[in-house]
Structure 1
């Protein structure tokens, strides 16, 4: 009887070891970490899906949660529903922290989405008439960005002494007497553009891409690669030093992902290496 029990114990031990070996994959230690990241559908989630197999080899399972707006991803991050998010730039993050008393931080800059001003009415900036209407989003963190673009073409002038990144419509000399319409949700801008509801439209690149607009070809005015509005991986303060987060940023900076961004988006999205 004792002999049978011993044999049975040995068999169960072997089965346990084999099962454990079968579950382990990825890195040398055989452990797996799940990292839940919130992202906008385009291009963020697409880039993360490309990075997922690379991270898998490093023992990190990437769980991508897609969000359709700019509010919920930070709420989910602050409330620990997700581990990180990928949809925003630092000026937006700073404003969110200030307004919501949160302490979210950047773990790394990943890409720039050159912001564009679009128009169905005008083909050249020089054609823009005095008093042209402009539709912008209700995202206050973008106002300075939009005004910088308009200023670059001499349509407005941001007043001296004003921080241009945080500038608002109250901080300009309106050289062309542009009429800024009631701001709307960023996701609605492509539809407003299709309906020709204004003369000029300031549209975020991710929403432009979703609407099959090519910023490089279709934008009347387009931001350059030196923009301070790089999109980031955001985390709760302290988590930027976690191994899985650092590995995520490392993979997103890799040549494989940068080549993917350049090939797929053809200049509409520009990778950042640091």
Structure 2
């Protein structure tokens, strides 16, 4: 019996030495997510694990391309897909994941302030032009009194949506509202448009109920839209908003120089990944230089 116990303890110690960047613990938060982690089959026993939480489109798709390159560098990139904007930050804060890839820095800053988390930007990867897309109406010229327009309801993305509506003459915001704008900052609304505030993932689902919808780039892609073809108006690449809302790799403060994180960022900013982005997303996703 003692001999058997010694063998089991030795096995446990060996297993403990195989962990890499990622935490060995699992999280209940991933129960409602789709796990796309790579199988251990065919992986080197000494590969270093990088665990990343991500949105499905385009982040998860881009990471799948990075996975192949990172494997050649000795890393096992494991990606878990989440369908909300809260859990990916929580699992990085708790050290259950090494990084996440789904958000821009203004959202990260707002989340840290509201939730007391300690997450930082480890590298900017791409930006996604915000766009106004057709709902029950197909042309902004057809807007009429009392029409409704759906926008994301989180702090930073709502401001971005409202600024785009202002740029297209639908509303006017009070001077200085900028990236903190809310519906309370609307001072002119000539068509008495009703702004319908929804969780970002829900906006595309009301296209049959609202005249127009204003979508984040990733949710536009998930809904089957293409910026160049379907957007009635969108942020230009040189706009302040586009530059401000670069999607980043976020990590817990202190992990920016982790070798796995640095390798991940380096690969995501490589020419191979830039070419993939440009060839795949038709202007809906643009690499950040």
Partner of 2:125: 110
Following the alignment from structure 1 to structure 2, what is the Cα–Cα distance between the partners of residues 32 and 140? 40
Q: Shift of the alpha carbon at 1:172?
A: 2.2
Q: Structure 1 residue 205 and structure 2 residue 217: aligned?
A: yes
C-alpha separation in 2, matches of 1:131 and 1:51: 46
Segments of 5+ residues of structure 1 without an aligned counterpart are 1-24
Q: For residue 187 of structure 1, what is the aligned residue in structure 2? A: 201
- Which residue in 2 is equivalent to 1:250? 266
Pairing 1:1-150 to 2, within 5 Å after superposition:
32-150=47-165
Secondary structure at 1:245 match in 2 = helix
**2:250 corresponding residue in structure 1:** 234
1:267 aligns with 2:279: no
Alignment check: 8 A CA contact 1:216 1:222 kept: no
Show structure 2 runs of 5+ residues with no match. 1-42
- Secondary structure of 1:149's match? helix
**Deviating more after overlay: 209-218 vs 232-241:** 209-218
Partner Cα separation in structure 2 for residue 160 and residue 137 of structure 1: 22
Aligned length: 242
Deviations 1:17-57 (A, max 9, x none): xxxxxxxx98xxx9532110000111101000101111112
Q: Deviations over 1:187-214 (max 9, x none)?
A: 2222211xx1111211222122112121
* Distance in 1 (alpha carbons) for counterparts of 2:51 and 2:254: 16
Deviation (angstroms), 1:159: 1.2
Could you say what the CA RMSD is over the residues aligned between the two structures, in angstroms? 1.7
Q: Provide the C-alpha distance between the structure 1 equivalents of 2:139 and 2:150, rounded to a whole number of angstroms.
A: 18
Pair 1:167 & 2:184 matched: no
CA displacement at 1:60 relative to structure 2: 1.4
Larger Rg belongs to: 1
State the TM-score, normalized to the length of structure 2. Answer: 0.79
Aligned to 1:214: 226
Aligned-pair CA distance for 1:161 = 2.8
With normalisation by structure 1, the TM-score equals 0.83
- Name the counterpart of 2:24: none
Q: Give 4+ residue runs of structure 1 displaced > 4 Å after superposition.
A: none
Give the deviation of 1:72 after TM superposition.
0.8
C-alpha distance in 1 between matches for 2:122 and 2:161: 26
- SS of the residue 1:240 aligns to: coil
Conservation of the 8 A alpha-carbon contact between 2:54 and 2:60? yes
Task: Give the CA deviation at 1:123.
Answer: 3.4
- Aligned-partner SS, 2:102: strand
